[in-house]
Amino acid sequence: MRLSLLLAKLWTDKALETPQPQPSFRPFFHLPYTHRPPLFSTSHFTPPAMGDVAVENPASALSSHTKAAPLDTIPNIDSLEGTGADDGDEYATLKKLQRHLEYIKLQEEYIKDEQRSLKRELVRAQEEIKRIQSVPLVIGQFMEAIDQNTGIVQSSTGSNYVVRILSTLDREKLKPSSSVALHRHSNALVDILPPEADSSIAMLGENEKPDVTYADVGGLDMQKQEIREAVELPLTHFDLYKQIGIDPPRGVLLYGPPGTGKTMLVKAVANSTTASFIRVNGSEFVQKYLGEGPRMVRDVFRMARENSPAIIFIDEIDAIATKRFDAQTGADREVQRILLELLNQMDGFEQSSNVKVIMATNRADTLDPALLRPGRLDRKIEFPSLRDRRERRLIFSTIASKMSLSPEVDLDSLIVRNEPLSGAVIAAIMQEAGLRAVRKNRYNIIQSDLEDAYSTQVKTGQEADRLEFYR
C-alpha cells in the first residue's frame, strides 16, 4: 500500500513539474474531433490543494491516463478568460453559415422539383412524338432546307410544300432527294426514311441470285469471254488494268434477236461473281409524275456505289434510250430527261470503277448515239441467231443432259436442219417433247416426241412470216 502511494506521489510531482505549453486559445469546436477532451475533466488526477496530495487508486489512475488525450492538447483554463468578443464573432459566423446552409437546402429542393417537372415534360413530349409518328404518314421527298425549322418537300402527288421540320430530327441526314415521312394533315416533316424505303429498286441478296452457271449456257463461247473480260475481270483483278495503264470498260451492251441468250448469260454473270447485283427494267423508270424517273436512276446508281462492287443490269434499255427528237408532249420530254440522267450517271463526276453497267436490247439501231459512244458503253456484244451447227449441238447437248432420253433418240437429225433456231426455241422444243412424254405416261423421251415438238415450235412458210419480228 505504501509502495503504491509513493508511486502515485512521484507521478503527480513529475506531472506538476513538467512545463506545459500555453497555446493560443481556439474555440472548442475548432479542435479536431480526436483532440476534444472535456475542458474541465479531472477524472485522471486531482490537482493538489494547500500542499496536500489527493491520490486516487493508482490502477484506475494509470488506466484512465492511457485512454485520455495528451496533456498538451487540453487548453489552459486560465487562457479562457477575456475571450467573450471572440465567442460572439464565432457565434455570429455560425448563425450566418446555418442560414446559408438552409438557403442552399431550399435551392436544392427547388432544383429537384424543377428537374422532376422537366422529366414529366420530356415524357409528354416523347409520347407526343410517338403519337405523331404513329398515325398513317405520307411519303414525300425532301427538296431543300430554308432554315433549321422549315424546309421544302414534295408530296407523292407532285406538289411542293413549305413545311415545319420536327426538332428531334438529325439535320445531317436531311439531304436533297431523300425520302421523308410527312404528317397527313399538316404535311409536317416528322421522320427521315432510309434510302431504300421508297425505292422500287431492289438488290438481289445472297439467297436470291439465280442458279444459272456458265456451264448451263450452251454455246456462246465468244460472248462469254467478252462479257467476263468487260465485267468480271475488272471487279476481281483491277490491278491488271492499273499496271497496263488503261481504264476498264464501264458498260456493256448486249443486243440481238429475242431468245438468243442475253438475259441467261447475265444470270450466269450474277451467279459467278460476289458483287452486288441490281436488276431493273427500262420501262420501270417511266413514272406518272415528273421527276420520278430521273430520281429512280439516281437511286439505282447511288445504291450501287454504296454496295460496291456492284453490277447494274438494265433490260429493255430501248424503252428510255431511244434517239432524241423535238418532243411535243410532256411524256416524251420526261423520257428524254431520264436518258440525260442516265448519261450523266454513267460518266459524270461521281463515276466509280467498281460499278459496272450491263444493258440488253432487241433494237440496238434505235438507241441514242450518245449512249453508244465509247466511255459509256465500251463494248457491244452481239447475240446472233444460231445458224452454226456447232452452236446448235452445244445447246441441244446442254439441255438434253438434264433430261431423260431414250437411247434411240438422235439429236443430230434436228441439228442438221436449216431453219434458224435460237436458244429459246431449242429449249422450247425439248420442253414440248417432255410434255408429250408425260401426256403418254412415259418416263423418257423418244424420237417421235422430239419430231412432234420440232414441228410445233418451228414455223415454216407463211406462219414464219407472220411471226417474224424483223426483216
| pLDDT, mean of residues 41-56 | 45
CATH of span 389-467: 1.10.8.60
* Between residues 77 and 408, the one the model is more confident about: 408
- Give the whole-angstrom CA distance, residue 187 versus residue 161: 8
In this predicted structure, the answer to whether residue 64 has a pLDDT above a threshold of 60 is: no
Residue 336: per-residue pLDDT: 84
In this predicted structure, the answer to whether residue 63 has a pLDDT above a threshold of 50 is: no
**pLDDT digit string, tens, across residues 175-221:** 777 788 888 777 788 888 776 655 566 667 666 778 888 888 888 88
- Give the whole-angstrom CA distance, residue 203 versus residue 196: 10
In this predicted structure, the answer to whether residue 462 has a pLDDT above a threshold of 70 is: no
In this predicted structure, the answer to whether residue 81 has a pLDDT above a threshold of 50 is: no
| pLDDT, mean of residues 27-36 | 45
* Percentage of the chain exceeding pLDDT 70: 72
Q: What is the DSSP letter of 386?
A: B
SS3 content of the chain, % helix, strand, coil (to 5): 50, 15, 40
Domain boundaries, the chain: 2-80, 135-192, 203-382, 389-467
Q: For residue 193, which amino acid is it?
A: L
Report pTM: 0.60
In this predicted structure, the answer to whether residue 224 has a pLDDT above a threshold of 60 is: yes
Asked if 371 contacts 266 with a C-beta cutoff of 8 angstroms, the reply is no
| Cβ density class 148-168: b for 16+ within 10 Å, e for less | eeebbbbbeeeeebebebbee
Q: What is the mean pLDDT of the chain?
A: 75
The length of the chain is: 471
- Paired sense of beta strands 251-255 and 179-182, if any: unpaired
**pLDDT digit string, tens, across residues 274-329:** 888 888 888 888 877 777 788 888 888 888 887 878 889 998 888 888 887 776 67
Q: For residue 188, which amino acid is it?
A: A
Instruction: Read off the pLDDT band of 340 (50, 70, 90).
Output: confident
Asked if 140 contacts 181 with a C-beta cutoff of 8 angstroms, the reply is yes
Other Cβ atoms closer than 10 A to 84: 7
Q: For residue 147, which amino acid is it?
A: D
**Cell numbers found for residue 11:** 507521478
| pLDDT, mean of residues 35-46 | 46
Q: Which alpha helices (H) appear in 18-83, and where do they start and end?
A: 58-67
| pLDDT, mean of residues 83-99 | 78
Instruction: Report how far Cα 42 is from the mean position of its chain's Cα atoms.
Output: 82
* Region for 51 from its dihedrals, namely left if φ exceeds 0, alpha if ψ lies in -120 to 50, beta otherwise: left
Residue 171: per-residue pLDDT: 79
Residue 414: per-residue pLDDT: 84
Cell numbers 420501262 label which residue? Answer: 283
CATH of span 203-382: 3.40.50.300
Asked if 265 contacts 315 with a C-beta cutoff of 8 angstroms, the reply is no
- Residue 169 neighbours by CB under 8 Å, 6+ apart: 189, 190, 191, 192
- Paired sense of beta strands 251-255 and 276-281, if any: unpaired
Residue 56: per-residue pLDDT: 45
135-192: CATH architecture = Beta Barrel (2.40)
Residue 91: per-residue pLDDT: 85
In this predicted structure, the answer to whether residue 237 has a pLDDT above a threshold of 60 is: yes
**Cell numbers found for residue 339:** 436518258
